[in-house]
Amino acid sequence: MRLFPKEIDFFELFDKASRNLINASRSLLELLEKFTDIENRVESIHRLEKEGDLITHETIRRLNKTFLTPLDREDIHALACRLDDILDLIWAAADRINLFKIESQIDGAVELAKSLKEHTEVIHRAIQELKKKRYSMVQDLCIEINRLENEADRIFRDAIGRMFENEKDPINIIKWKEILEHLENATDRCEDVANILEGIVLKHA
Amino acid sequence: MRLFPKEIDFFELFDKASRNLINASRSLLELLEKFTDIENRVESIHRLEKEGDLITHETIRRLNKTFLTPLDREDIHALACRLDDILDLIWAAADRINLFKIESQIDGAVELAKSLKEHTEVIHRAIQELKKKRYSMVQDLCIEINRLENEADRIFRDAIGRMFENEKDPINIIKWKEILEHLENATDRCEDVANILEGIVLKHA
Amino acid sequence: MRLFPKEIDFFELFDKASRNLINASRSLLELLEKFTDIENRVESIHRLEKEGDLITHETIRRLNKTFLTPLDREDIHALACRLDDILDLIWAAADRINLFKIESQIDGAVELAKSLKEHTEVIHRAIQELKKKRYSMVQDLCIEINRLENEADRIFRDAIGRMFENEKDPINIIKWKEILEHLENATDRCEDVANILEGIVLKHA
């Protein structure tokens, strides 16, 4: 008989959530790179977003039902919510491309989506290392997320600066500004995830 | 002598807060439907917003003074804050109509305000059922809020899509985009309330 | 041997964080008043923002390492995060002036920055009084922050109203609307700080 029968479940759920996140960020990058077949690509990201909702909901449900948890309750809750936030923002960015009937690329959007994809890949690895209790690896990966987020911030600011220089149609500015902001907010939430993971590691070190 | 002398108070405060919320959302709907006498209507929503602030403040004050609470402290705190957020967003939407000197309606705004009003009515009923410990009723009402929020999301996206198709004045787009976003954020916060209520029910089930 | 060896540290860190915040808000006010040498001024605010990040990080790190804390853990965490939020928003406002290549002032921006500077000065004093356990002084200063925030809200709304009346270039509206919103959000986060401080006082009263 195991003392912590539920222990493995939360890590499995986080593993699933972060894999799903990678799929979404890869689909978004492809959408922005190819800029064809937009409606179908957006719809497939929507499916991943709904899948993520189910995983988040299941995580919160189990958390509310479980007395003993492998991590602090608030950390499990915060991690599940922030992973879901990232996915929501990826979906929001994709959705707006469709909703705003965006017809052409803007400088910097692909680069930002590429960076976001890298963020999600590192988050996934960090969660796997956390499960294996390899805390110093988790810490290294969190530092890597912080580095990526600084880089993404630079990419975002450059893209915004160039847009205001080159784009003269205010309606296009309104549209792309929102999309770029969703992407940048997604990388901010990735940094939140890194902070939560770092906090967990510090408590166990 | 009662063991939990304060127990009933929190429910009374939540009852008051959610009644106040219904009044605000009804006033906002009327404002958008009639589009006359705007300044007075906005001012009356402002009064409700200030009334809500007092209720929230009183809730937090009692929470900080009370050792034994009928619900988890963090749930009481989160519920009070999210109800206040909804009210703030209703007020923000009303205020912008006045501040931006909006002169004509936009397609979808009334429909979204109607949905928001329905959200607040269901929240009020859910809080009443929670007080009576009729947990399965609370759960049903939370599912209803989730359904309403999905519907509101569709209404919002349709309204934004049509606005970008039909409205050619970028300044009008800036103004109405903000107002529609406040309404949509309000329904998002309603969903947060549903999640908090669901969490409470799960702990007591 | 002291029982609470770490007690003094958190107050010192909050003292440092709020001093740093004053420096940032003063620099922002000067930037908006003088509107010369913009790049250098923005860069010096960036340095303060990075300094603030280090202080926040150190606070969270010690919190995670300390078993006994002079205040509730969640209050220390919330206070550190909200102080950092204010600084981030000051930095965001300054950064946008540079990034958007803003060339001329807008009515109300200086007044709002002046109010924000006053907010940060009162926060600093409230933190000093909290350390000295002079709780009724803390409460008075929190009331003062609430008063300032109401005033800032009025300044912000007036500035937005006048901008939409006078400015006809939608791209300028997009730019200044974002900057004014960052300033106004910063004062909102100051009010959050006041609420946290009031909560702490109520627990100790």
The pLDDT tens digits for A99-112 are: 999 988 899 999 99
Cβ distance of C202 and B100 shorter than 8 Å: no
ipTM value: 0.88
Show the CA angle centred on residue A84, arms to residues B70 and C183, nearest 5°. 85
Task: Please give the pLDDT value at position B94.
Answer: 98
Cα gap B44→B27, rounded to integer Å? 8
Tally of structural domains, chain C:
1
Cα gap A128→A122, rounded to integer Å? 10
Q: Of A115-119, C15-19, C55-59, which gets the smallest average pLDDT? A: C55-59
Residue A143, chain C, CB below 8 Å: the answer is no
Cβ distance of A64 and B202 shorter than 8 Å: yes
Task: Please give the pLDDT value at position A61.
Answer: 84
Task: Please give the pLDDT value at position A191.
Answer: 96
Q: Which of residues 1-60 of B touch C (CB under 8 A)?
A: 60
Q: Which residues of A touch B203 (CB under 8 A)?
A: 64
Mean pLDDT of chain B: 93
Query: The domain containing residue B18 runs over which residues?
Result: 7-204
Cβ distance of C202 and B64 shorter than 8 Å: yes
Is the distance from CB of C47 to CB of C113 less than 8 angstroms? no
List the CATH number of the domain containing C90.
1.20.58.220
Task: Please give the pLDDT value at position A46.
Answer: 97
Residue C4 vs residue B205, higher pLDDT: B205
Answer whether residue B2 is part of any domain.
no
Neighbours of B57 (CB within 10 A): 15
Answer whether residue A2 is part of any domain.
no
Task: Please give the pLDDT value at position C203.
Answer: 80
Average confidence (pLDDT) over B47-75: 88
Per-residue confidence band for C64, with pLDDT thresholds at 50, 70 and 90: confident
- Is residue C72 pLDDT above 70, yes or no? yes
Show the CA angle centred on residue B21, arms to residues B16 and B22, nearest 5°. 100
**Percent of chain B scored above 90 by pLDDT?**
83
Answer whether residue B125 is part of any domain.
yes
Answer whether residue A135 is part of any domain.
yes
The pLDDT tens digits for A132-154 are: 999 999 999 999 999 999 999 99
Per-residue confidence band for B116, with pLDDT thresholds at 50, 70 and 90: very high
Residue A78, chain B, CB below 8 Å: the answer is no
Task: Please give the pLDDT value at position A2.
Answer: 47
Cα gap B128→B122, rounded to integer Å? 10
Q: CA B18, B99, C82, A200: dihedral to nearest 10 degrees?
A: 60
Task: Please give the pLDDT value at position C8.
Answer: 54
Per-residue confidence band for C70, with pLDDT thresholds at 50, 70 and 90: confident
Q: How far is B50 from chain A (nearest CA, A)?
A: 31
Average confidence (pLDDT) over B48-73: 88
Cβ distance of C164 and B100 shorter than 8 Å: yes
Angle between helices B170-204 and A38-65 (to 10 degrees): 30
Number of H helices, E strands in chain B: 6, 0
Cα gap A145→A143, rounded to integer Å? 5
- Is residue B172 pLDDT above 60, yes or no? yes
- Is residue C131 pLDDT above 70, yes or no? yes
Answer whether residue B193 is part of any domain.
yes
Give the list of residues 6+ apart from residue A143 with CB closer than 8 angstroms, or none: none
Give which of C82, C191, C192, C195 to mutate to test B binding, by max B Cβ within 10 Å.
C195
Residue B180 vs residue C8, higher pLDDT: B180
- Is residue A52 pLDDT above 80, yes or no? yes
Task: Please give the pLDDT value at position C45.
Answer: 98
From the number of C-beta atoms within 10 Å of its C-beta (0-12, 13-18, 19+), residue A38 rates as middle
Average confidence (pLDDT) over B171-192: 98
Task: Please give the pLDDT value at position A4.
Answer: 52
Cα gap B146→B144, rounded to integer Å? 5
Give the list of residues 6+ apart from residue A65 with CB closer than 8 angstroms, or none: B202
Average confidence (pLDDT) over A179-199: 96
Task: Please give the pLDDT value at position A68.
Answer: 78
For chain A, state the CA radius of gyration.
18
- Is residue B4 pLDDT above 80, yes or no? no
Neighbours of C119 (CB within 10 A): 27
Answer whether residue C139 is part of any domain.
yes
Per-residue confidence band for B1, with pLDDT thresholds at 50, 70 and 90: very low
Cα gap A28→A116, rounded to integer Å? 9
Cα gap A5→A3, rounded to integer Å? 6
Is the distance from CB of B20 to CB of B83 less than 8 angstroms? no
Average confidence (pLDDT) over C97-103: 95
Smallest CA-to-CA distance from A16 within A45, A43, A54, A47 is with A54
Mean pLDDT of chain A: 93
Residue B3 vs residue A56, higher pLDDT: A56
Residue A65, chain B, CB below 8 Å: the answer is yes
When CB atoms are compared, the residue of C157, C170, C195 closest to B174 is: C170
Cβ distance of A199 and C65 shorter than 8 Å: no
Per-residue confidence band for C2, with pLDDT thresholds at 50, 70 and 90: very low
Residue A7 vs residue A70, higher pLDDT: A70
Task: Please give the pLDDT value at position A104.
Answer: 86
Give the list of residues 6+ apart from residue C115 with CB closer than 8 angstroms, or none: C148, C151, C152, C155, C187
Task: Give, for A144, the enclosing helix (H) or strand (E).
Answer: helix A135-166
Cβ distance of B60 and C199 shorter than 8 Å: yes
- Is residue A79 pLDDT above 50, yes or no? yes
Q: Which residues of A touch B173 (CB under 8 A)?
A: 171, 174
- Is residue A45 pLDDT above 80, yes or no? yes
Q: How far is B93 from chain C (nearest CA, A)?
A: 13
* Residue recorded with tokens 């709020």: C18
Answer whether residue C2 is part of any domain.
no
Cβ distance of C175 and A164 shorter than 8 Å: yes
Is the distance from CB of A20 to CB of A121 less than 8 angstroms? no
Residue A64 structure tokens: 């509310």
Answer whether residue B1 is part of any domain.
no
